[in-house]
Structure 1
Amino acid sequence: MTRALFIIDVQNDFTEGGALGVDGGAAVAAHLTSYLERAADGYSLVIASRDWHNADGDNGGHFAPVGEEPNFLDTWPPHCVAGTPGAEYHPALDQSRITIHVKKGQGEPAYSIFDGHVDGGASDGATITEVLEEHGVTEVDIAGIATDYCVRASALDAVEHGRHVRVFTDLIAGVARETSDAAIAEMGHAGAILASSDGE
């Protein structure tokens, strides 16, 4: 079996102080770096996604119209705009062990890593489905931000695409406790294994 790690949206705008910062986001970045130090060699691919929204326009309705309040369900304040500091990986995340970078949400709403495309390298422009099939990946571990949105969507899509999925519940952070708990339950019900990164 070939295993990949998905690192979902560990970006400045999704961590404390960012445009859509969540509590515990910076800790997820730091803990992921520690995890990669001891476990990266166990993965054939380490794939990290980033929201990468266009500065112009509303990105398919993803950004609330100017002058209107976002509903924080399907419209949001501007965040992770391409080329801005908020779109960059959190500095506590060690990027050196990331083998594939994915950008998503370029002009359209995109929550799942499966909505994105590879940025750079030999697989530039490929979808995640194409990458996983090319490398024969059958097992996917998932960590990152936010539990109740992009982690949830990525995990559900990975299950739907026939992968055996583990979600590391100690390496995720969510927007709200209630919606995060619901997302964790939904991922488990769909077939994802809810696990700890330390194997306990």
Structure 2
Amino acid sequence: MSRALFIIDVQNDFTEGGALGVAGGNAVAAGITALLAEHPDRYAHVFASRDWHDASGDNGGHFSDTPDYVDTWPSHCVAGTPGAEYNPALDTSAVDVHVRKGQGVPAYSIFEGTTTDDSDVADVLERLGVTQIDIAGIATDYCVRASALDAIATGRDVRVLADLVAGVAADSSAAALVELEAAGAEIVTGADE
């Protein structure tokens, strides 16, 4: 039985100045780094996901020249570009499981990705004996939400670190946290233990 931290999509394209930058993204990156520095033994495992979209094509309808910002988006987090890299304020030295998602298809949840050795995230959690998952990252109303719902569906205890997430819009982010709490997640802050 162990606890893992999921760091969801803290990438240059999702933080201020990026293709789909959200307000507060840089602060989330710095806050996660501070959390891990202040509590180095809190997590047995740290997972970090990244959108890692194909350079060619529309990525299964995910990219559009006329995006609706609900189901379609402008090009972002293209594999091998600076926008797909982790935000420089995020210290990834504690990350032991890197996950890439959205390769050729839309993907919001970390569970839709694969690890760098092509393992399924759910299988890795099982192998590592993870029973509790804390979730931080971007965006509260999309990838954090989807990842938390999928984590809850695996039967694990899930906490969303509300002070270490940033969303696309205030209303949809608040609604996502209400939905996640109703689904069984605990909404806490990174300082909570």
**Aligned equivalents of 2:151, 2:52: Cα separation in 1:** 21
Residue 182 (structure 1) aligns with: 175
**Aligned equivalents of 2:61, 2:68: Cα separation in 1:** 12
Residue 91 (structure 2) aligns with: 94
Aligned-residue CA RMSD (Å): 0.9
Q: Secondary structure at the match of 2:124?
A: helix
Matching residue within 52, 63, 70 for 1:73:
70
**Aligned equivalents of 2:152, 2:62: Cα separation in 1:** 25
CA deviation after TM superposition for structure 1 residue 69, in Å: 1.1
Return structure 1 stretches of 4+ with deviation > 4 angstroms: none
Q: Secondary structure at the match of 1:41?
A: coil
Identity over aligned pairs, percent:
64
Confirm or deny: 8 A CA contact 1:40 1:46 kept in the other structure.
no
**Aligned equivalents of 1:140, 1:58: Cα separation in 2:** 32
Q: Which residue identity does 1:132 align to in structure 2?
A: L
**Aligned equivalents of 2:94, 2:41: Cα separation in 1:** 9
Residues 54-106 of structure 1 show CA distances to partners (whole Å, capped at 9, x for unaligned) of 01000000001xxx410001100000000000000000000111111000000
**Aligned equivalents of 2:104, 2:40: Cα separation in 1:** 32
Matched, 1:113 2:106: no
Q: Secondary structure at the match of 1:42?
A: coil
**Aligned equivalents of 1:88, 1:125: Cα separation in 2:** 19
Alignment size in residue pairs: 193
Confirm or deny: 8 A CA contact 1:140 1:166 kept in the other structure.
yes
**Aligned equivalents of 1:180, 1:31: Cα separation in 2:** 18
Unaligned runs of 5+ in 1: none
Matches within 5 A, 1:1-200: 1-64=1-64, 68-119=65-116, 124-199=117-192
